[in-house]
């Protein structure tokens, strides 16, 4: 906590305030979020969950004064229509964790995303870490920090490294880790180059949508958004200690019944054994209406576990 600046200390106090009051909010997909807001018809937030979960505007004169003061101290208030105010951040819950991330809609280039993929990613990590005792864990492209934080809480003796090219993501991950009293090293970069020494476990949940605006939290590059997963997996596998593992959670576009991501991972990470399975066969169906996905049957989310053999 000592390395947090005053803005981030205010965010840490906000998480503590919410925790003491039993705050719970499960972050949905953007499509579900939009539908819920449409139902509400632009109304003013009635409670903290409306403001910090659903990103609804509120009247600072009548809203929870402690929340308004802490958001103000964190410089996390934005003007909204009708003389109202809104939070620039959201807070999601995940099995006892509270995690700061960007307010809806996540349109800024440096937005920090959290949603259903985050919940599935943590379940995958917990399944794969059962009975395993890594010494050094790297969460590549950590975003809100959820993967590294979950792994660190499961394996408290391991050294934890969280990397991200997005400075705002590292900022929020630092606060989220501090809230869990988790000691971690935060590194600014787009891979594992900044991590000194070897590591025996890497976590990776990269963007996997081919995004027209190439937003950091969303754009997975070519191959219908799969290229970033391939590039990062190859770079990580080259740095793994012998016997070390990469746990990759990502999405893949299924074209003509085939999965080119699986084929590419097996080829590009030839020094590793590969376990691969679908976790959800059909997500983000709305993307199929875009020209970039004209030949895609479906988008699946998958787990790939790569273990270095030599």
**Predicted pLDDT at 222:** 86
Mean per-residue pLDDT, 55-68 = 97
Q: Tell me how far apart the alpha carbons of residues 101 and 97 are, in angstroms, rounded to a whole number.
A: 13
Residue 109 lies in a domain: no
Among 102, 128, 157, the domain boundary falls at 102
* Domain range for 298: 116-308
Q: Give the confidence band of 212 by pLDDT, cuts at 50, 70, 90.
A: confident
Between strands 240-255 and 298-308, the pairing is antiparallel
145-155 pLDDT, tens digit each: 999 999 999 99
Q: Give yes or no: residues 172 and 57 share one domain.
A: no
Residue 108 belongs to a domain:
no
Q: Cα separation of 310 and 106, whole Å?
A: 41
In the DSSP assignment, the letter for residue 231 is H
Domain at 126, CATH number: 3.40.50.150
Is residue 142 domain-shared with residue 263, that is, in the same domain?
Answer: yes
Q: Are residues 45 and 138 in the same domain?
A: no
Average pLDDT of span 189-206:
93
Q: Within this chain, do residues 184 and 251 fall inside the same structural domain, yes or no?
A: yes
Asked whether 251 and 299 are in contact (CB, 8 A), the reply is yes
Looking at the structure, do residues 178 and 88 belong to the same domain, yes or no? no
Q: Specify whether 87 is located in the same domain as 148.
A: no
Q: What is the number of domains present in the chain?
A: 2
Residues 60 and 165 both lie in one domain: no
Segment 82-140, tens digit of pLDDT: 999 999 999 999 988 999 999 999 888 899 999 999 999 999 999 999 999 999 999 99
Check whether residue 62 and residue 209 sit in a common domain. Answer: no
Instruction: Give me the chain's average pLDDT, please.
Output: 95
Asked if residue 293 lies in contact with residue 287, where contact means CB atoms within 8 angstroms, the answer is yes
Give pLDDT, residue 1.
44
Confidence of residue 310 (pLDDT cuts 50, 70, 90): confident
Q: Is the pLDDT of residue 51 over 90?
A: yes
Q: Say how many C-beta atoms besides its own lie within 10 A of residue 233's C-beta.
A: 26
Read off the pTM: 0.94
Section 190-215 average pLDDT:
90
Counting beta carbons within 10 angstroms of the beta carbon of residue 259, is it exposed (0 to 12), middle (13 to 18) or buried (19 or more)?
Answer: middle
Does 257 lie in the same domain as 183? Answer: yes
Query: Does residue 240 register a pLDDT over 60?
Result: yes
Q: Is there a single domain that holds both residue 174 and residue 297? A: yes
Q: For 242-299, write each residue's pLDDT tens digit.
A: 999 999 999 999 999 999 999 999 999 999 999 999 999 999 999 999 999 999 999 9
**Of 44, 78, 102, which one is at a domain's C-terminal end?**
102
pLDDT at 215 over 80: no
In a domain, 92, yes or no: yes
pLDDT higher at 215 or 256 = 256
Within a domain: 110: no
- Kindly indicate the confidence band of residue 214, based on its pLDDT and cuts at 50, 70 and 90: confident
Rounded to the nearest 10 degrees, what angle do helices 65-73 and 6-20 cross at? 150
Of 76, 102, 128, which residue sits at a domain end?
Answer: 102
Please report whether residue 111 resides in a domain: no
Residue 1 lies in a domain: no
**Quick one: 168 and 292 in the same domain?**
yes
**Are 19 and 132 in the same domain?**
no
Give yes or no for residue 213 having a pLDDT over 90.
no
90 within some domain? yes
Q: What is the pLDDT of residues 222-234, one digit of tens each?
A: 899 999 999 999 9
> Does 294 fall in a domain?
yes
User: What integer pLDDT is reported at residue 249 of this predicted model?
Assistant: 98
Report the candidate in 310, 208, 189, 205 with the shortest Cα–Cα distance to residue 259: 208
Question: Measuring CA to CA, which residue among 273, 223, 230, 268 is closest to residue 248?
Answer: 230
């Amino acid at each position: 906590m000592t390395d947090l600046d005053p803005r981030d200390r205010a965010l840490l106090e906000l998480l503590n305030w919410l925790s003491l009051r039993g705050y719970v909010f499960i972050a949905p997909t953007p499509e579900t979020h939009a539908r819920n807001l449409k139902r509400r018809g632009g109304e003013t937030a009635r409670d903290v969950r409306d403001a910090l979960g659903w990103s609804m505007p509120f009247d600072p004169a009548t809203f929870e004064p402690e929340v308004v003061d802490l958001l103000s101290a964190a410089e996390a208030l934005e003007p909204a229509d009708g003389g109202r105010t809104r939070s620039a951040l959201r807070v999601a819950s995940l099995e006892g964790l509270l995690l700061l991330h960007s307010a809806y809609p996540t349109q800024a280039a440096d937005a920090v995303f959290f949603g259903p993929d985050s919940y599935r990613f943590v379940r995958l990590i917990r399944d794969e870490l059962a009975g395993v005792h890594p010494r050094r864990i790297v969460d590549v492209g950590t975003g809100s920090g959820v993967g590294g934080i979950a792994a660190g809480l499961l394996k408290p003796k391991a050294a934890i490294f969280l990397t991200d090219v997005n400075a705002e993501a590292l900022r929020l991950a630092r606060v989220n880790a501090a809230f869990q009293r988790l000691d971690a090293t935060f590194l600014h970069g787009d891979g594992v180059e900044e991590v000194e020494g070897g590591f025996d476990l890497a976590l990776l949940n990269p963007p996997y949508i081919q995004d027209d605006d190439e937003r950091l939290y969303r754009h997975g590059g070519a191959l219908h958004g799969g290229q970033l997963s391939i590039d990062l997996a190859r770079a990580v596998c080259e740095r793994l200690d012998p016997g070390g593992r990469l746990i990759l959670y990502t999405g893949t576009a299924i074209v003509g019944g085939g999965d080119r991501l699986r084929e590419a991972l097996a080829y590009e990470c030839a020094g590793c054994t590969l376990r691969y399975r679908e976790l959800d066969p059909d997500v983000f169906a709305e993307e199929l209406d875009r020209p970039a996905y004209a030949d895609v049957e479906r988008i699946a989310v998958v787990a790939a576990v790569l273990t270095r053999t030599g």
